[in-house]
Amino acid sequence: MDHYIVSARKYRPSTFNSVVGQKSLTTTLKNAILNNKLAHAYLFSGPRGVGKTSCARIFAKTINCMNLTATGDACNTCESCRSFDEQRSLNIHELDAASNNSVDDIRTLIDQVRIPPQVGKYKVYIIDEVHMLSSQAFNAFLKTLEEPPKHAIFILATTEKQKVLATILSRCQVYDFTRISIADMVEHLQFVASSENITAEPEALNIIAQKADGGLRDALSIFDQVVSYTGGNVTYQSVIENLNVLDYEYYFRITDAVLKGEIRTCMLLLNEIMEKGFDGQHIITGLAAHFRDLLVSKDESTLVLLEVGASIRDHYREMAKQCPVPLLYRAIELANQCDLNYRESRNKKLLLELTLIQLCQIQEAGLNQPDDKKKT
C-alpha cells in the first residue's frame, strides 16, 4: 500500500509562481533576489494557511541556489537545491516559537547564527508564530536582529502582527499576506482534482472554498475529507451533506414564499431545515447573506461581488429580477436584527418564525415602496 500524503503537503508550492493568491508579494521577493537587494530581516504576517511559511522556504531555497534562472527561480539541480528538496539542507533553520519561546531557546539560536554556511551564501532562520515569544526572548533577540552577520537572514512569521513588539517590527521588512479569494481557491482545487483524476463540480468546489474562509490549507484539508466521503466523485449535494452546509435551494424557496406572502410555507420550510439539525443562528445569518447576494445580483456591475458557482449565479440573477430593492433592504435589516437578538432570546424558534412572518408582510404592508410614496 502506497504511503498517502495529504493534499496540503503534496501540493505545497515549491516555486514563487506556484504560490496561490499572493502575486504582488512573490513578485516583490523575486525582484529583491534578482536585484540582490536582500534585507536581513522579514516579517510575514497574515491568516493561517495563506502561504507564509511556504514563501519563507521558497525564499530560503532561491537565495542559496547556485544557478538562478533568468526569471529569479531556483534551478532545482544544484547541490543546494537538492539538499533543500531532500530536507537535509543545513542552511535553513525553523523554530516554532509557540513551543520554543524562552530566552534560552533564543540564545541557542543566536549562537548558531555566528556559524557561516558550508554550502550556499546564506543561512535562513524561520521563526514561526513569532508573537508567542516571551518579552525576555524578544529583548534578547533585538540586537542580533538589528545587526546580524552578513550570511544570516531572519524570516519571522505570525498570524497576530499586533502582538509583535514595535521594536521588532521596525527592524523588519513587513509583508502582509491576504486571505485567498474564492476564485483563486476554486482554480487551485480544480487543478488538484484533475491531477488526482477526481471529478468535481464547480459548485462543490465553491462551497469548499467558502467554508475554508480564505485559507488554502483549510480548503485542501476539506477537499481531502470530501473526496474520502464521496469516493472521488465530488458533487454539490455530497459536499453540503458532508460539511453540513444548508442548500441554497432552501433560501430560494423561502424568498419565493416571502414574495408571495406565504407565511405557512415559510414556517414549514423553517421546521424542515431545523429538523435536519441546522442551528437557528446559522439559518438566519445565511438568510441575511442570501438577501445581500440578491441585492448585488440586481446590477451587472455589482455581480462580481457574488462569490458562488456559475449555475447558482444564474439562479440569483433570475430571482433578483422578482425582488424590489426596498424589499431587499428591509429583509436584510430584519434578518440582521434577528441575528443580533438571537442569543438573548429565550424562545429562539419563535423569534425565527416572527422574523419570517415580518418578511412575508413586507409586500402586504407596502414596505417595499420608496419612502416618499409611504408618506403620501
Instruction: Flag whether 100 is in a domain.
Output: yes
What b-and-e string marks burial along 292-328, b requiring 16 or more CB atoms within 10 Å of the CB? bbbbbbbeeeeeeebebbeebbeebeebbeebbebbb
Of 157, 176, 195, at which residue does a domain stop? 176
Please report whether residue 288 resides in a domain: yes
Q: Are residues 253 and 236 in the same domain?
A: no
* 366 shares a domain with 278: yes
- Rounded to an integer, what distance in angstroms lies between the CA atom of residue 106 and that of residue 141? 7
What CATH number did the domain enclosing 196 receive? Answer: 1.10.8.60
Examine the pLDDT at 367 and tell me if it is beyond 70.
no
Mean pLDDT of 22-32: 88
Residue 222 sits in the same domain as residue 121: no
- Amino acid present at 97: A
φ and ψ of 233, to 5 deg: -120, 90
Position 247 scores a pLDDT of 86
163 and 214 housed in the same domain:
no
Q: What is the pLDDT of residue 265?
A: 92
For 98, half-sphere exposure in the C-beta direction (CA atoms, 13 angstrom radius) is 6
The CATH number for 101's domain is 3.40.50.300
Q: Are residues 168 and 123 in the same domain?
A: yes
280/340 same-domain check: yes
The proportion of the chain whose per-residue pLDDT surpasses 70, expressed as a percent, equals: 96
In a domain, 1, yes or no: no
Residue 127: beta bridge partners?
A: 95, 156
pLDDT on residue 69:
81
pLDDT at 366: 59
Give the span between the Cα atoms of 93 and 117, in whole angstroms: 12
pLDDT digits (tens, 9 = 90+) for 250-284: 999 999 999 998 899 999 999 999 988 888 998 99
Each residue of 140-197: pLDDT tens digit? 888 888 888 888 888 999 988 888 888 888 888 899 998 888 888 899 999 999 988 8
CATH of the domain at 342: 1.20.272.10
Note down the domain range covering 192: 182-242
Question: What pLDDT sits at residue 365?
Answer: 62
Task: Place 287 in a pLDDT band, splitting at 50, 70 and 90.
Answer: very high
Give the separation between CA 214 and CA 270, rounded to whole angstroms: 30
CA distances from 249 to 246, 280, 343 (A): 8, 17, 26
pLDDT tens for 45-80 read 988 888 888 899 888 888 888 888 887 788 888 888
Calpha distance 96→81 (Å, rounded): 23
Tell me the three cell numbers of residue 347.
424562545
Statement to judge: residues 33 and 89 lie in one domain:
yes
- Asked which of 221, 242, 263 is the last residue of a domain, the reply is 242
Domain count, the chain: 3
Q: Which of 249, 222, 244 is nearest to 312 (CA)?
A: 249
Does residue 2 form part of some domain?
no
**DSSP string over 27-74:** HHHHHHHHTT---SEEEEE-STTSSHHHHHHHHHHHHT-SS--TTS--
pTM: 0.79
Q: Where are the alpha helices (DSSP H) in the chain?
A: 7-10, 23-34, 52-63, 79-85, 103-113, 135-146, 166-169, 182-195, 202-212, 216-230, 236-242, 248-260, 263-275, 280-296, 310-320, 325-342, 348-365, 371-375
Provide the pLDDT for residue 2.
Answer: 59
- How many Å apart are CA 247 and CA 273, to the nearest integer? 10
